[in-house]
Structure 1
Amino acid sequence: MATLNPAFWAGKRVLLTGHTGFKGSWASIWLTRMGAQVTGLSLAPDQSPSLFEMARVAERVDSHLGDIRDPAAIEAALAGKTFDLVLHMAAQAIVRTSVEDPLGTFDTNVMGTARLLQALRGQPELKAVLTITSDKVYANNDSGRAFQEGDNLGGKDPYSASKAAAEIVVQSFAKSYFKDVAVGTARGGNVIGGGDFSRDRLVADIVRATRAGEAVVLRHPEATRPWQHVLDCLAGYFTLLEALAMRPDAPRALNFGPRPGGTEVTVGELATLGVQALGGMPWVHEPDPTSLEAKALAIDATLARTVLGFESRLEAPDAVALTMDWYGRQAAGEDALSLCLEQIEGYEARK
């Protein structure tokens, strides 16, 4: 299987949007560890605590706080700089927030992407752009069938629909304007890992409830998701972005998720593993009949393995264990950045 090539990233000028978020903070730490020169563009963290602040990410990157919906903020981050690579992760990424604020979600995820791509048309040395969408871009009938890259796009909630629309925006810009720049999308599974304190995320809810001495509340304990550790997901993104920059045959849309045939874990099972690891109370079930979230979701990551030689290294139970180890040790007083670097190093050493 393919492994990351730190030599490729050394000295690369990378624009990373969404660098203040959970995945963005991990990406910033890992990219700079490999020697990349990272410029970040994102809103300020929307949760407290935040991994961005706990791990002192602003000290590692050229950090610009601004809204991807604002062309002036994009121009300010790009002003006077040339980039080799762009990893676009900035997004409104919470399903329930999208139901509460559909217009803001569409503006961020669709028009924010379009505004960024428009600004990048003026980058003379750009080699590749990778936009991160979601495993939820597919038209989902809750059959549980694992979606493949050629399946129909769709989305019955505003978040899913906005990410499917972003896929079409990226394709249109790629074909219309980026003739000599490889532009693609990555559709990642449900990501878990240390340092996520976002609203309405399962692991973050488990940690908050456990630290407060309360039981975490689950809406759909029977639901299945393609759980993936943040390091597996980011390794996939980095591998695809490198391929886009170096290989004319690199796929322009790719799923990243658990290994085909891997262990499937329901929401309830993951919550049980999490509260047991942290010494919390058993979870409770409070159904939400108004929820638009899919009950079954799976993606087929076979193409990443066959075309890029990439597949996830961590099974779901191992990903949960690594995640909860991070939270447990951080709560005991260990430094967040040191924990991230230790887990990155340990992941790189896996075969």
Structure 2
Amino acid sequence: MIGFDDLKEFYKGRRVFVTGHTGFKGSWLTLLLEELGAEVYGYSLPAKEGELFSILYPKPPIYSFEGDVRNYEQLRSLMEWAHPEVVFHLAAQPIVRESYLFPRETYETNVMGTVNLLESIRHIPSVRSVLNVTTDKVYENNDMEHHAFTEEEKLDGFDPYSNSKSCSEILTHSYQKSFFNEEKEENGQRVLPRISTARAGNVIGGGDFAKDRIVPDAVRAVVQGQKIGVRNPYSVRPYQHVLEPLLVYLEIAARQTGFVKGLCKEKFSYEQGKRFEGYYNVGPSVEDAITTGELTDLFVKFWGEGAAWENLSEKNAPHEAGFLQLNTNKVRRTFQWEPRYTVKDAVKETVAWYKAWSEGKDMRKFSVEQIRHFFCESHR
């Protein structure tokens, strides 16, 4: 696995386009890319006051643009102007329960938004590497205990959110084979971009304020002096700190261009990068796939005084998978990757962020310090 300095060697000075950069994961990715010296162009719905992007960037960065991935003309026009080399697609409607309320909008954003992005890339010759970020919920899940999904298993998410992400996976690889395949080149006029997808487990970390996610719900409860209500305490999920998958995303996008640490840009082997193109599960070690109740126990432990939780299971709640675990052998083997944090470490870092936030600290500075700590030698 390459480290911070290796990533900086690749990303410094590169034009990187990020959809969904104002979201939780997108905000962390934007900050991380800036620390690596990249020139970041963000395209997303407006940042909401009080959410992570607004906390990290009280004044929006110069290349932060408001827009909807459903608007093809606007998206393509901006991408043509930015002429990026690397593209990360994170824009999505990401909440399962929201998808039951707004299924059409969920499919429009998660499916047609991906089509619009890939269709734009067809007309932008500067693009060399694309990563579509989906979810661990893309698989057909029959709640088999102790079964960890491999990348080759059937894609058929149950709810509209999960299913829309299954569709996003399928259409991404259709575009890759149909329009970005080397055999489709004509007269050697263009080096086509490499395209991969990443299926990440449930991420936690400082700055997530979304509805219907366990950590944000827990923070809101303890700050208001209330018990934490847990809807599905026995559901098993592959929880991981947000920086874990971001590190993998950055490496996939770099390596599929042919990047090898220690080589200057002029010596990248684009042909060698082809072998990194594909689809990857990104999740914690098997022993760190725990129940939501166990995760909440860790949150209560690290928060300390005033934190407690109660079981609020709902008999007639919309369906959500009871057991979900990923087999990550492929990404471990391909990139010599190992998680840097245990789930205990992840919760500890997450609670530390929210406590610092509640105390009014400089959260951009604190977040950068957490990035540096994540990359330090003790976690290699």
Q: Would you say same fold, with TM above 0.5? A: yes
Alignment match, 2:330:
303
Amino acid at match of 1:192: I
Deviations, residues 82-138 of structure 1 (Å, cap 9, x unaligned): 111000000000000001100000000000000111011111121111000000000
Residue 161 of structure 1: which of 160, 163, 183 is its match?
163
Alignment match, 1:258:
284
Distance 1:299 1:57, change over 3 A: farther
Alignment match, 2:185:
none
Deviations, residues 150-183 of structure 1 (Å, cap 9, x unaligned): 0111111001100000001101111111132111
TM-score (norm 1): 0.96
Alignment match, 1:3:
3
Deviations, residues 231-277 of structure 1 (Å, cap 9, x unaligned): 11100111111122221210410010002x43332101111221332
CA contact (8 A) 1:301 1:311 kept: no
Alignment match, 1:233:
245
Task: Tell me if 1:173 matches 2:175.
Answer: yes
Determine the C-alpha separation between the residues in 1 that align with 2:180 and 2:31.
29
CA contact (8 A) 2:176 2:195 kept: yes
Amino acid at match of 2:67: G
Task: Tell me if 1:274 matches 2:303.
Answer: no
Residue 150 of structure 1: which of 142, 152, 175 is its match?
152
CA contact (8 A) 2:197 2:278 kept: yes
Q: Secondary structure of the equivalent of 1:110?
A: helix
Alignment match, 2:364:
337
Identity %: 38
Alignment match, 2:111:
110
Determine the C-alpha separation between the residues in 2 that align with 1:167 and 1:309.
24
Q: Secondary structure of the equivalent of 1:217?
A: strand
Alignment match, 1:62:
63
Point out the more displaced range, 117-126 or 158-167.
Answer: 117-126
Alignment match, 1:123:
124
The answer for unaligned runs of 5 or more in structure 1 is: none
Distance 1:61 1:142, change over 3 A: farther
Correspondence 1:184-333 to 2 at 5 A: 184-246=196-258, 247-259=273-285, 261-278=286-303, 279-289=305-315, 290-333=317-360
Determine the C-alpha separation between the residues in 1 that align with 2:129 and 2:43.
17
CA contact (8 A) 2:194 2:277 kept: no
CA contact (8 A) 1:32 1:61 kept: no
Give the Å deviation of 1:76: 4.0
Point out the more displaced range, 284-293 or 64-73.
Answer: 284-293
Q: Secondary structure of the equivalent of 1:319?
A: helix
Amino acid at match of 1:133: T
Amino acid at match of 2:345: D
CA contact (8 A) 1:12 1:37 kept: yes
Alignment match, 2:267:
none
Point out the more displaced range, 214-223 or 52-61.
Answer: 52-61
Determine the C-alpha separation between the residues in 1 that align with 2:223 and 2:232.
22
Point out the more displaced range, 67-76 or 276-285.
Answer: 276-285
Give the Å deviation of 1:218: 1.0
Determine the C-alpha separation between the residues in 2 that align with 1:27 and 1:262.
26
Give the Å deviation of 1:223: 0.7
Amino acid at match of 1:152: K
Deviations, residues 132-151 of structure 1 (Å, cap 9, x unaligned): 00000000010131101001
Alignment match, 1:37:
39
Q: Secondary structure of the equivalent of 2:131?
A: strand
Determine the C-alpha separation between the residues in 1 that align with 2:243 and 2:29.
9
The answer for unaligned runs of 5 or more in structure 2 is: 182-191, 259-272
Amino acid at match of 1:178: F
Distance 1:61 1:252, change over 3 A: farther
Give the Å deviation of 1:81: 2.4
Point out the more displaced range, 277-286 or 146-155.
Answer: 277-286
Greater Rg by CA: 2
Alignment match, 1:22:
24
CA contact (8 A) 1:206 1:216 kept: yes
TM-score (norm 2): 0.89
Point out the more displaced range, 68-77 or 203-212.
Answer: 68-77
Q: Secondary structure of the equivalent of 1:262?
A: helix
